[in-house]
Amino acid sequence: MVYFLVFIHIVVCLFLIGVVLLQQGKSADLAGAFGGQGSQTAFGPRGAANLLTKLTTYAAILFMLLSIALTILLSRASGDHSVLSGTSTTQSAPKK
């Protein structure tokens, strides 16, 4: 189960990287190169969300959910729950 989720996680990572790299930036036109904005809004012009934006959102949500699921599964699979569980503790008497 863990190996399958890791495989899916890697596929989602590569897909997310590809989708983000394919997107066009907000100021990718000629006016953006010289600091101009197409509108006087606070955050620049915003069009309707296209397919790449939706795919990025879904891939990011899936990436986060898979990360949380893998963290939970791997923490349950390991027997030791503490970093110091394998060390022996010795106490010395205080000097007087």
- DSSP letters spanning 10-78: HHHHHHHHHHHHHSPPTT-SHHHHTT--SS-STT-------HHHHHHHHHHHHHHHHHHHHHHHHHHHS
For 12-55, what is each residue's pLDDT tens digit? 999 999 999 988 776 555 555 566 555 555 555 555 568 888 99
Exposure of 23 in the CB half-sphere (CA atoms within 13 A)? 17
The pLDDT score that the predictor gives to residue 76 is 82
Task: Give the list of residues 6+ apart from residue 8 with CB closer than 8 angstroms, or none.
Answer: 66
Please state the rounded mean pLDDT for residues 68-94: 76
Nearest to 45 by CA among 36, 54, 33: 36
Nearest to 56 by CA among 10, 20, 12: 20
Please state the rounded mean pLDDT for residues 63-73: 94
The pLDDT score that the predictor gives to residue 31 is 58
List the domain boundaries for the chain: 1-23+50-76
The pLDDT score that the predictor gives to residue 89 is 72
pLDDT surpasses 70 at 56: yes
Handedness of CA 27, 28, 33, 37 (dihedral sign): negative
